[in-house]
């Protein structure tokens, strides 16, 4: 078959399942013939436009390849153009401050002689290098890249990851490795949620009591902020700061009580939830303060956008203190929503005065705001479409909340231009700029944030980068497993964090039985943890629920095995026996371990569910039929085992239910 005919066929029938391991998948990809070896002679060369950030990106790629392959490769850069294994051509410089209109497209052509990466801008080169890094794979001759032609550009210009550093502080080195992970999957906006009820996390020289009295000493100095900004720019990532207001502001008030709606006393909030303290939108003094503060932060953060939060104002103080009723009446306002809209307008004007555009959570959506603002949709996809119909740009985070412990496959199918946007005109659709994965930090710390964020975020990154019609969930999971491993070569620590958490739980005991249990449980979903017990910032997050990954690959794979019965029978039996017998290995440790003790009923449930699964498998294989009572009893057992215990869910219950229901 000619190469052209092969490509045409692939376009019609889709890529074969093993076609590539890239994530996000490129817009266009044509396989070639042969392979480019990656060995000790590998060099990177440049032609035409050059700048330091391209050289450091090439050096990072080399380091990553050395790390991944174990092959010593000389770090001399640039190699000469004719002998370079990877030749980079960049047309011209990028914008002095990265913006969302910049061209990120690139072309990558790999033959058995050379790889050529061509892009108009340094951003395109960075995206192409991320692809190149994912193409390096072990093969029969060592390491190499299968010949390929790639033409690629993003579907959406705004592809973000938000990290909340207020609930639990995340130190700079940890943030940096998330930026490395972002760059590896072509995300281009780091949304830095810098203040909330539980912490004010950036140094203010104009108002030093903000970080001095609002952070327990855990904040980023302005020098550290600049260090992170430079780190992000090197990787083609914009940094959008968020200062959430007028709600979620308890941590501002110990230092500056005059900003608050209520009389105090004020303190940093230690619990999770929505609290009454909020800024006073009626006092001019508050806007004078914010004018100076926003001016200071607008000068520190170069991005054209400034996030003002605006979410979850409960309005209790505005309803109970007479001063606010008088203000509302005097200004013809009917509700607290009107009062918040007034605040948003005033703050938006200050943001604009300091040369920035406003972005805020969807509560700020109001027809009176100028069309330059961006609405950040978190409560539902409808607000994104509604904003677009009103002429506002928007980004989507509803459906991309990593902290709610949903599987990657669910996030993957959430589309910023999904059903809610179907009725938009082409012009309105252009106002949908993309989306952001959000990592709220109530139930995560720097010690497990990597394995909460990764690898699921790679699936969201693909949704935001790759063609809309790409919706093959099994193939996404296949590639996500590869991406999860290669992310490790970039410095993301998710695999190691998981191992450490297992070891913490196991203590002096062998880790394997703990792993067997942890692999088949998931944290309860959505906001269930806050309802299960009362948490504070000081509550240790070191339990099974903090160890278990947000969604169980083992349970998903087991479910696939059940679907493939009877061919998969031996493998199904092997898992079931492992789970049935695991409790006997763990049980002796429960009495002596406060951390493990709460897992006792979970482990017992796993054994009971596995025993029921074994009976069902035996019935299937013997061709005998169970009684109706047997079925009823087993299904009742599954109902009990499906209830949350110790804030985890036993994720093999649904596939075992399938197995039991399959026995007639
Ligand atoms: C939010 O989750 N309150 C934006």
pLDDT in tens, 309-318: 999 999 999 9
Q: Is the pLDDT of residue 13 over 80?
A: no
Q: Residue whose CA is closest, atom 3 of ligand 1?
A: 311
Give the number of other Cβ atoms within 10 Å of residue 334's Cβ: 9
Asked whether the beta carbons of 255 and 210 are under 8 A apart, the reply is yes
CA–centroid distance, residue 437 to ligand 1 (Å):
12
CA 621 to chain centroid: 43
Which pLDDT score is estimated for 11? 41
CA–centroid distance, residue 250 to ligand 1 (Å):
16
Which atom of ligand 1 is closest in space to residue 440's alpha carbon?
A: 2
Among 244, 273, 378, 401, residue to substitute to test ligand 1 (most atoms within 8 Å of Cβ): 378
Q: Is the pLDDT of residue 479 over 90?
A: yes
3-class DSSP state of 479: helix
Confidence bin at 2 (pLDDT 50/70/90): very low
Q: Is the pLDDT of residue 10 over 60?
A: no
φ/ψ (deg, to 5) at 657: -60, -40
CA–centroid distance, residue 195 to ligand 1 (Å):
13
CA–centroid distance, residue 115 to ligand 1 (Å):
44
Of 79-88, 210-219, 320-329, 583-592, where does mean pLDDT reach its minimum? 79-88
Question: How long, in residues, is the chain?
Answer: 664
pLDDT in tens, 152-171: 999 999 999 999 999 999 99
pLDDT in tens, 521-569: 999 999 999 999 999 999 999 999 999 999 999 999 999 999 999 999 9
Q: Is the pLDDT of residue 18 over 50?
A: no
Among 440, 443, 527, 530, residue to substitute to test ligand 1 (most atoms within 8 Å of Cβ): 440
203 assigned to active site: no
CA atoms of 652 and 600, how far apart (whole Å): 17
Q: Is the pLDDT of residue 17 over 80?
A: no
CA atoms of 220 and 18, how far apart (whole Å): 44
Asked whether the beta carbons of 643 and 601 are under 8 A apart, the reply is no
Decide: residue 428, CB within 10 A, 0-12 exposed, 13-18 middle, 19+ buried. middle
φ/ψ (deg, to 5) at 617: -65, -40
Which pLDDT score is estimated for 48? 87
CA atoms of 46 and 79, how far apart (whole Å): 8
Of 362-371, 397-406, 633-642, where does mean pLDDT reach its minimum? 362-371
Q: Cβ < 6 Å from ligand 1: which residues? A: 311-312, 361, 378
CA atoms of 281 and 287, how far apart (whole Å): 8
Asked whether the beta carbons of 167 and 440 are under 8 A apart, the reply is yes
CA atoms of 454 and 368, how far apart (whole Å): 39
CA atoms of 242 and 561, how far apart (whole Å): 45
Q: Residue whose CA is closest, atom 2 of ligand 1?
A: 378
Confidence bin at 8 (pLDDT 50/70/90): very low
Which pLDDT score is estimated for 9? 39
CA–centroid distance, residue 377 to ligand 1 (Å):
9
CA atoms of 280 and 257, how far apart (whole Å): 10
Which atom of ligand 1 is closest in space to residue 361's alpha carbon?
A: 4
Which pLDDT score is estimated for 77? 67
CA–centroid distance, residue 486 to ligand 1 (Å):
31
Q: Is the pLDDT of residue 573 over 60?
A: yes
Percentage of the chain exceeding pLDDT 70: 97
Among 167, 311, 360, 383, residue to substitute to test ligand 1 (most atoms within 8 Å of Cβ): 311
Q: Is the pLDDT of residue 144 over 60?
A: yes
Q: Is the pLDDT of residue 392 over 70?
A: yes
CA atoms of 157 and 189, how far apart (whole Å): 9
The C-alpha angle with vertex 437 and arms to 432 and 439, in degrees rounded to 5, equals: 145
Catalytic residue among 227, 312, 386, 571: 312
Which atom of ligand 1 is closest in space to residue 378's alpha carbon?
A: 4
What's the mean per-residue pLDDT of the chain? 95
CA atoms of 484 and 325, how far apart (whole Å): 54
CA–centroid distance, residue 438 to ligand 1 (Å):
9
CA–centroid distance, residue 481 to ligand 1 (Å):
29
Confidence bin at 66 (pLDDT 50/70/90): very high
Which atom of ligand 1 is closest in space to residue 438's alpha carbon?
A: 2
Confidence bin at 501 (pLDDT 50/70/90): very high
Which atom of ligand 1 is closest in space to residue 376's alpha carbon?
A: 4
């Amino acid at each position: 078959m000619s190469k052209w005919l092969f490509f045409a066929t692939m376009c019609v029938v889709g890529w074969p399942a093993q076609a590539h391991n890239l994530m996000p998948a490129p817009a266009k990809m044509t396989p070639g013939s042969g392979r480019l070896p990656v060995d000790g002679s590998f060099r990177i060369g440049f032609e035409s436009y050059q700048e330091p950030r391209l050289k450091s990106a090439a050096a990072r790629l080399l380091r990553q390849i050395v790390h991944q392959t174990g092959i010593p490769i000389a770090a001399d850069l640039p190699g000469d153009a004719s002998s370079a294994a990877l030749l980079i051509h960049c047309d011209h410089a990028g914008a002095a401050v990265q913006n969302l209109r910049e061209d990120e497209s690139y072309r990558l052509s790999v033959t058995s002689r050379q790889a050529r990466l061509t892009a108009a801008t340094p951003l395109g080169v960075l995206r192409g290098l991320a692809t190149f890094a994912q193409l390096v794979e072990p093969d029969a001759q060592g390491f190499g890249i299968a010949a390929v032609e790639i033409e690629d550009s993003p579907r959406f210009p705004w592809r973000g990851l938000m990290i909340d550093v207020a609930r639990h502080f995340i130190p700079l080195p940890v943030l940096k490795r998330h930026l490395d992970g972002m760059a590896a999957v072509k995300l281009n906006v780091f949304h830095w949620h810098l203040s909330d009820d539980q912490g004010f996390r950036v140094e203010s020289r104009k108002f030093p009591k903000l970080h001095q009295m609002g952070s327990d000493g855990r904040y980023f100095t302005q020098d550290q902020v600049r260090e992170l900004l430079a780190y992000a720019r090197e990787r083609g990532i914009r940094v959008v700061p968020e200062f959430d207001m007028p709600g979620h502001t308890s941590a501002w008030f110990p230092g500056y009580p005059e900003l608050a709606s209520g009389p105090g006393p004020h303190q940093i909030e230690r619990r999770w939830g929505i609290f009454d303290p909020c800024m006073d939108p009626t006092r001019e003094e508050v806007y004078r303060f914010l004018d100076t503060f926003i001016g200071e932060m607008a000068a520190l953060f170069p991005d054209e956008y400034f996030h003002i939060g605006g979410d979850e104002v409960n309005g209790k103080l505005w309803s109970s203190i007479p001063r606010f009723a008088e203000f509302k009446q005097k200004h013809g306002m009917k509700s607290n929503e009107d009062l918040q809209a007034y605040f948003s307008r005033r703050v938006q004007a200050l943001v604009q005065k300091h040369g920035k555009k406003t972005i805020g959570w969807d509560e700020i959506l109001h027809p009176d705001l100028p069309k330059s603002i961006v609405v950040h949709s978190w409560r539902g996809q409808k607000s994104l479409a509604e904003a677009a119909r009103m002429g506002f740009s928007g980004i989507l985070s509803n459906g991309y909340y990593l902290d709610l412990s949903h599987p990657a496959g669910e996030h993957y199918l959430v589309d910023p231009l999904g059903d809610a946007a179907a009725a938009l005109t082409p012009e309105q659709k252009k106002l949908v700029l993309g989306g952001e994965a959000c990592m709220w930090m109530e139930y995560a710390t720097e010690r497990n944030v990597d394995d909460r964020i990764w690898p699921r975020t790679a699936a969201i990154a693909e949704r935001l980068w790759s063609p809309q019609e790409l919706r093959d969930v099994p193939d996404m999971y296949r590639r996500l497993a590869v991406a999860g491993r290669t992310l490790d070569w970039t410095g993301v620590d998710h695999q190691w964090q998981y191992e450490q958490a297992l070891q913490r739980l196991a203590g002096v005991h062998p880790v394997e039985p703990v792993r067997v249990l942890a692999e088949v449980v998931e944290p309860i979903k959505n906001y269930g943890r806050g309802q299960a017990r009362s948490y504070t910032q000081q509550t240790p997050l070191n339990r099974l629920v903090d160890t278990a990954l947000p969604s169980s690959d083992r349970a998903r794979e087991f479910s696939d095995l059940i679907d493939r019965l009877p061919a998969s029978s031996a493998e199904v039996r092997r898992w079931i026996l492992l789970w049935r017998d695991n409790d006997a290995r763990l049980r002796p440790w429960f009495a002596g371990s406060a951390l493990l003790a709460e897992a006792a009923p979970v482990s017992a449930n796993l054994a009971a569910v596995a025993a029921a699964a074994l009976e069902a498998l035996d019935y299937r294989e013997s061709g005998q039929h169970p009684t109706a009572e047997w079925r009823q009893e087993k299904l009742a057992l599954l109902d009990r085992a499906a209830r949350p215990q110790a804030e985890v869910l036993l994720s093999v219950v649904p596939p075992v239910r399938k197995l039991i229901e399959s026995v007639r």
